[in-house]
Amino acid sequence: MSEYRISRSTPESTVGLIGAAVAVLVLATLPWWDSDGSLQTPLIVVLYYLALAQMWNLLAGFAGLVSVGQQMFVGIGIYTMLQVAEVIGLDPFLAVPVAGMVAAVLSLPVAAFAFRLKGGYFAIGTWVVAEVLRLLVTESGTHLRGGDVRSLTRDSLGGYSLEMRTNLTYWLALALAAGATAIVVFALRSRLGLALRAIRDNESGARGLGVDVTRTKLIVWVVAAFWTGCTGAVILLNTNSATAASAFSVLRWTALVIFIAVIGGVGSTTGAIIGVLVYWFLDEQLEDAENWRFIILGAIAAVMALVAPRGFYGLLQRWRPLQFFPVRRRLVKRDSVGEPT
């Protein structure tokens, strides 16, 4: 038997995983003990922002795909929900994965164009595609009516009571947030994660080592598009109305998501969680600041990028290195009975 074995777990990670599982279970019971909805209502927003931030972090932090056009998939999810729930009559909560699948399918032609671009050109290219989609939806006339305010009607909402609709929306947002975090962790613990980090650090070197760069990028691109599209559908269930401008808003669905990822720590599995909690706190404090809120948030992001490029996660690592969701492999020495020491 070998004197060493490969391990990812640490005492801190065991505590972190148990704590995360307990937190998800407690949050799942929230509708039964938060009777006035004072916590549930803002948490829906926090949870779908966490899902968006984890998917953006998967692309930018681990695959090197810095997209500034993720709002295209949010908008696709929103308008798919409007069409299948209103026109086809599908139950709106069953329409959530349909919205994700439509976003995933439409992400393929976008990838065929965007993957030809590198670095900053890729970021600009994704933003341009998102803006083109917004204009197409806005000018769609009677088909999508992107220039009008569209809402889910009582009939399209399936006859659910307001309380049940709110609870189901909350549980979906929780599932998307927890699922996005799990996708990032388990993807990075797999061979796909090794390939992603190799591509991010040196694409030419990764290709030389036999990594199928295009296939690897395409997998995470489609996964992120699917999850972001599902999140867009849940956003509509929460807000109940949308226009093309709000559905494809770069400020709300990409700039704020990048802010969350940057202040939390890009390229870490827990950075988005820290970032969304910081954003929640700041948003509550700046509730009455109106447009100044975005200026202040932008200034904070700029300062964090300069003084702490790895965000609050990096500051935490300087104080005490902790890995609540470890993905790196370590050689651990066994003791005399074959257990790691």
What is the pLDDT confidence band of residue 333, given thresholds at 50, 70 and 90? low
When pLDDT is averaged across residues 273-277 and rounded to a whole number, the result is 92
Residue 336 has pLDDT above 50, yes or no: no
Which pLDDT value is given to residue 324? 67
**Predicted confidence (pLDDT) per residue in 259-269, tens digit:** 999 999 888 88
* HEC per residue, the chain: CCCEEEECCCHHHHHHHHHHHHHHHHHHCHHHHCCCCCCHHHHHHHHHHHHHHHHHHHHHHHCCCCCCCCHHHHHHHHHHHHHHHHHHCCCCCCHHHHHHHHHHHHHHHHHHHHCCCCCHHHHHHHHHHHHHHHHHHHCCCCCCCCCCCEECCCCCCCCCCHHHHHHHHHHHHHHHHHHHHHHHHHHHCCHHHHHHHHHHHCHHHHHHCCCCHHHHHHHHHHHHHHHHHHHHHHHHHHHCEECHHHHCCHHHHHHHHHHHHHHHCCCCCCHHHHHHHHHHHHHHHCCCCCCHHHHHHHHHHHHHHHHCCCHHHHHHHHHCCCCCCCCCCEEEEECCCCCEC
When pLDDT is averaged across residues 226-240 and rounded to a whole number, the result is 95
pTM of the model: 0.90
Q: Which structural domains are found in the chain, ordered by start?
A: 4-333 (1.10.3470)
**Predicted confidence (pLDDT) per residue in 47-102, tens digit:** 999 999 999 999 998 888 999 999 999 999 999 999 998 888 889 999 999 999 99
Instruction: Express as a percent the part of the chain with pLDDT over 90.
Output: 50
